[in-house]
Chain A
């Protein structure tokens, strides 16, 4: 069955060495994931192998025992065996139930065992046992770390990026098994999503920084210019003051929008779900926007059945409609039409803001609700706005358990649709 001189001892040492290493590297979270029903694959075979070992040696030993001592001894052996077996089973289930991939290597870094999750993480069907790290993950830093753990007993954590089969980033924690058993264990964690979120956060911070600094640069620059003599420049001074005023307003809007988003993110703005007559809310919003529409000679039309109602937060819904109408008016050329249409669709109430505006290219649609995403930076600056409006709209609609959709055709117009639970 096994040619090595002390197979049982080696397996026990292996498990004993593994336990603290595992606890250190996978943490309480992974243990909580464990389900005893997950005894499968390689580790299941590993466990049956141990059971076989126990049965065989116990039987041989039992023959040599005297009868009365034999009973007690047999009970003790059985207890020891049951205890050890339970431990092995628990451990095997724990390893197999981990989200993280794991392998155990011998003193040369050759893989001896692994769990099934490792295959998923490495994205491979090939045989892993008997391979060296460099063959399985073509990154020398991982290979070197494994050898360091095996030879010098040094634990380490390395980050490896893989290109194939698909691009991902793994964080690998490598621990030596201990002096009594040369070899190492490594736990693989897929950190691709975490890395992506970090990048999103960094981009957001860079964007906020840019968006804040631009108006500040204008305010500061014109104030400095006025102070150093331009105040007596009767032709330009009033324009400069006008710019300072406008840019201060822009800064103010940006700060309010950022605060609003952060409140929504943190769930600090509880939204109610009361029965709202949509025509009423829509009328308020469209009346508020009427002057801007009139200034561009746009026809602003309202077509909502008077009895159409939804479960929503009236203030949040008004804010959503104001935002959508404001966008529609901004991006619709003079003489065009903006419509606010309501209807019932199944068990939901639908409100659509349709414009005869410039339209949006299809490639921009999936990113339209991202913070600071702009279809045309130059144009949106002309129109004003913080780049956060649609992001806030999406947050509010989702907060009311609704859905937000957009459809658009370049040169024809855009339709933003809000679907809310009907009431």
Chain B
């Protein structure tokens, strides 16, 4: 049973989410502030955090950043819940590594479906036929581990999935729209800068080995073909 941490300061909404997600078969806990959520997350080890962006103590974006930077939590999926309705907040959240978002007022049924879809994508990350590699980069889906020249690189779940997607399709150009759809599960109504931000971060984490991810100007990205690389 997947565990979900609900971070929502409106008691009525927190209860609404608890009721519906429990009914959908999830184990839930609730935190009413950002600080409480961070400490609760460490003990509860949720698979997914449902994070309201307007919290009384910390901005939700800050909670998201702290989750993604914590070595023990960085693979936890985060779905943002926002009432602001401004695209900039959502885009910022996605660029910071959120896996999906829902806008208040939301349909509880749709929210449950989104949560399930994110968890399904996470489960797929560990599927696959053995270790994928390109140059000095090795990605082990089963162990959820990425190494460069034998040294482990700490990636968030999204970065891991982005790299895995590229490694599975060497030498083929992936448009930003395709990546958004296959990695984030988002249909591309939202800005595609989210992809660029994550590619940039992924390259930084991979160091010199990251050069294997090539930018195809005006189109998207591709992993340099192994033959060209050799």
Residues on A lying within 8 angstroms of B by beta carbon are 206, 209-210, 213-214, 216-222, 224-225, 228, 230, 236, 243, 246-247, 376-378, 381
Question: A221 to B108, Cβ gap below 8 A?
Answer: yes
- Main SS class of interface, B: loop
CA distance A103 to B54 in the complex (A): 47
Question: B109 to A214, Cβ gap below 8 A?
Answer: no
CA distance A381 to B8 in the complex (A): 13
- Contact partner, A243, options B12, B56, B107, B108, Cβ 8 Å: B12
Tell me which of B40-48, B80-88, B180-188 binds A: B80-88
The reply to whether the CB of B214 lies closer than 8 angstroms to some CB of chain A is no
Question: B20 to A225, Cβ gap below 8 A?
Answer: yes
- Contact partner, B9, options A209, A243, A377, Cβ 8 Å: A377
CA distance A378 to B9 in the complex (A): 7
If A206-B84, A214-B83, A218-B12 touch, does A230 touch B104 (CB 8 Å cutoff)? no
Closest to A223 in B: B108
Closest to B107 in A: A224
CA distance A285 to B12 in the complex (A): 32
Question: A213 to B19, Cβ gap below 8 A?
Answer: no
Question: What string of 1s and 0s marks CB contacts (under 8 Å) between B85-99 and chain A?
Answer: 110000000000000
CB distance from A175 to the nearest CB of B (A): 34
- Set of chain B residues within 8 Å of A230, measured between Cβ atoms: 19
Question: A378 to B13, Cβ gap below 8 A?
Answer: no
Question: A210 to B106, Cβ gap below 8 A?
Answer: no
- Contact partner, B33, options A216, A228, A247, A378, Cβ 8 Å: A378
- Set of chain A residues within 8 Å of B150, measured between Cβ atoms: none
CA distance A220 to B108 in the complex (A): 9
CB distance from B80 to the nearest CB of A (A): 14
CA distance A217 to B81 in the complex (A): 11
Question: A213 to B10, Cβ gap below 8 A?
Answer: no
Contact sample, A vs B, 17 pairs, CB 8 Å cutoff = A206-B84, A209-B84, A214-B10, A217-B106, A218-B13, A218-B16, A221-B105, A224-B107, A224-B108, A225-B20, A243-B12, A247-B12, A376-B56, A377-B9, A378-B32, A381-B9, A381-B10
- Set of chain B residues within 8 Å of A247, measured between Cβ atoms: 12
If A224-B107, A225-B108 touch, does A217 touch B13 (CB 8 Å cutoff)? yes
CA distance A92 to B120 in the complex (A): 74
CA distance A228 to B32 in the complex (A): 27
CB distance from B25 to the nearest CB of A (A): 14
Question: A214 to B13, Cβ gap below 8 A?
Answer: yes
- Set of chain A residues within 8 Å of B10, measured between Cβ atoms: 214, 218, 381
CB distance from A235 to the nearest CB of B (A): 11
CA distance A213 to B106 in the complex (A): 10
8 A Cβ contacts from B52-93 to A: 54, 56, 83-86
CA distance A411 to B185 in the complex (A): 51
CA distance A376 to B56 in the complex (A): 8
CA distance A196 to B43 in the complex (A): 44
CB distance from A252 to the nearest CB of B (A): 16
Closest to B32 in A: A378
- Given A206-B84, A217-B13, A378-B33, 11 new contacts (CB under 8 A): A210-B54, A213-B85, A214-B83, A218-B12, A218-B13, A218-B16, A221-B16, A221-B20, A225-B16, A225-B20, A243-B15
Question: B85 to A228, Cβ gap below 8 A?
Answer: no
- Set of chain A residues within 8 Å of B12, measured between Cβ atoms: 218, 222, 243, 246-247
- Set of chain A residues within 8 Å of B85, measured between Cβ atoms: 209, 213
- Set of chain A residues within 8 Å of B20, measured between Cβ atoms: 221, 225
CA distance A221 to B15 in the complex (A): 10
7 pairs of A and B residues whose beta carbons are closest in the complex: A217-B105, A217-B104, A213-B83, A377-B56, A221-B16, A213-B104, A216-B105
Question: B84 to A221, Cβ gap below 8 A?
Answer: no
CA distance A221 to B105 in the complex (A): 8
CB distance from B194 to the nearest CB of A (A): 22
Closest to A206 in B: B84
CA distance A312 to B54 in the complex (A): 40
- Set of chain B residues within 8 Å of A246, measured between Cβ atoms: 12
CA distance A189 to B173 in the complex (A): 49
Question: A209 to B109, Cβ gap below 8 A?
Answer: no
- Set of chain B residues within 8 Å of A221, measured between Cβ atoms: 13, 16, 20, 105-108
Question: What string of 1s and 0s marks CB contacts (under 8 Å) between B20-40 and chain A?
Answer: 100000000000110000000
CB distance from A200 to the nearest CB of B (A): 16
Question: B84 to A236, Cβ gap below 8 A?
Answer: no
- Set of chain B residues within 8 Å of A377, measured between Cβ atoms: 9, 56
